[in-house]
Amino acid sequence: MASFWIVLLSVTAGTLVYSVFSCLPGLHVYNVMGLLVLAILGLEAKGIAVPPEVFIPMMTGMIVNWSMVNTIPSVLLGTPDESALFTVLPGQKYLMVGRGYEGTMITAVGSLAGAFFLVCVVAPFAPKYLPVSQEALKGHMHWVLWIIITFILMSEWPKGGNRGRAGWAKFWDAWGSLLAGVCTFVLAGLMGFILLNRSPVSHEVAFQNIMPAFVGLFAVPWCLLNIISAADVPPQRTTDSLDIDGDIILRSVWSGGLGGGFAAYMPIVTGGVGGLLAGHACAQREERIFVMGQGVSKFVYYVGAFMFLFVPGLNLSRGGGAWMVKTLYTPASTADYLMIVGSIAVSAALSFLMISPLAKLTLRLIDKFNYRHVSSVALAIIVVMVFAMTGWVGLFIAAVGTGVGLLPVLFGSRRLNCLGILLLPIACNMSGFGETIAGWLGLN
């Protein structure tokens, strides 16, 4: 019985405390978890053992809270992480017509629906079916990554070439954005090769290796765009009811659950990619389903990936959270799994209740200050975070990442191409020729 209260207290503390961090733009949960792991290891070195019933539910609370509450800075402050890539555009459109609160809450409902999906549908069946699929798929992950890359590159629509007579001029006008997309993918991929093979980041913060690049690729360009081009945000109104029904929630869970679940299960595939594929597979064009589905997808992606580590008979390490926990503890029993599932349920409920007041608080901030100033402060926080964790080297990496991340903004291509930073080097490594290519690049 004492264990029950310890777990409950830990997950509650993790959730409540982390809600402050979740509202900060640009701070990924894995960065904070990394620091927590270092702290736990430090305590263990001094002979103070932290029991798993304390840190595992606490970390669960952090991940669950972040995947839900981080919708607020993603949508309202325009500083998305990669998995929120698709949410942000329609989410910001809600903001620009004075309905930022509604956009945030629709995404939050999606996250809660994702929690139901994970706890009530996935969790009971995962121990029975996921090991079966793992057996068949384990030698084939590399080509799945390659076909995802192929689809990402082949499915982008040429944005130009809309006017004028037929011919090469029209063709090149159209292909400008496509070539910029391919260029972004390749440059990001090269950056990934460098960071994964010869990272300039100090080995003491090796777990933050890729963070500055991600911040540069995804968050900084968004902030810069807001600062340069953002019109004044109109006064925001809140509402007591959202224009959604059970059918919209069900269809959101369908598309978001598929996308997030796929991303959680596959190595390196992130929530943004899962969302892209599920969006194409389910063909849902309704904007509310789109926004809510991304809430589902982000939750299932981050929390599902963490949960898979604890599934009996599977114990799959996916996502930074699972890898960090593995350095401290190896899940062994069904009791661990039940503890995680219960922690997810508790934390999701608490986090959902906190989103509304936190969103209102943030909107009050936006109403009070110029949106450009809010974006500037968000950018400053991001820069400070990167510097605090990785120093000048990290800032340099973020600056390079920003250069690459601005290409899609300037040429109107897909921002998802920036994911080449992970997809390209990892796909090469998994297929067995990553080292050869690294050798060609002089990185061995």
| Site of interaction with another protein (CB under 8 A) | 85-86, 89-90, 93, 97, 129, 131-133, 135-137, 139-140, 142-143, 146-147, 150-151, 154-159, 161-167, 170-171, 174-175, 178, 229, 245-247, 250-251, 254, 276-277, 279-285, 287, 414-416, 430-433
Report the 10 Å Cβ neighbour count for 137: 12
CB of 287 to another protein, least distance (A): 6
What span, in angstroms and rounded, lies between the C-alpha atoms of 263 and 117?
Answer: 15
Closer to another protein at the Cβ: 150 or 239? 150
Query: Whose structure tokens read 């509304």?
Result: 356
Closest distance of CB 199 from another protein, Å: 25
Minimum distance between the CB of residue 346 and another protein, rounded to whole angstroms?
Answer: 25
**CB half-sphere exposure, 126, CA atoms < 13 A:** 27
At its nearest, how many Å lie between another protein and the CB of residue 124?
Answer: 13
| Residue 235 beta carbon to another protein: minimum distance, rounded to whole angstroms | 15
Q: Among 27, 153, 147, which residue's Cα sits nearest to residue 79?
A: 27
Nearer to another protein among residue 172 and residue 392 (C-beta): 172
Q: What is the smallest separation between the CB atom of 325 and another protein, expressed in angstroms?
A: 26
For residues 205 and 37, is the Cβ–Cβ distance under 8 A? no
Tell me whether residue 17 or residue 169 sits nearer to another protein (CB atom). 169
What's the CA gap between 186 and 326, in Å, rounded?
A: 32
Task: Name which of 174 and 443 has its Cβ closer to another protein.
Answer: 174
Chain centroid offset of residue 294 CA: 10
Give the residue among 274, 273, 254, 253 at the shortest CA–CA distance from 262.
274
Closer Cβ to another protein, 158 or 425, answer by number = 158
Quickly list DSSP for 35-68. Answer: HHHHHHHHHHHTT-PPPHHHHHHHHHHHHHHHHH
Give the separation between CA 444 and CA 432, rounded to whole angstroms: 15
Secondary structure (3-state) at 356: helix
Nearer Cβ to another protein (37/430)? 430
Nearest approach in angstroms of CB 134 to another protein is 10
From residue 441, how far is each of 233, 436, 444 by CA, in Å?
A: 46, 9, 8
Would you say 51 or 313 has its CB closer to another protein?
Answer: 313
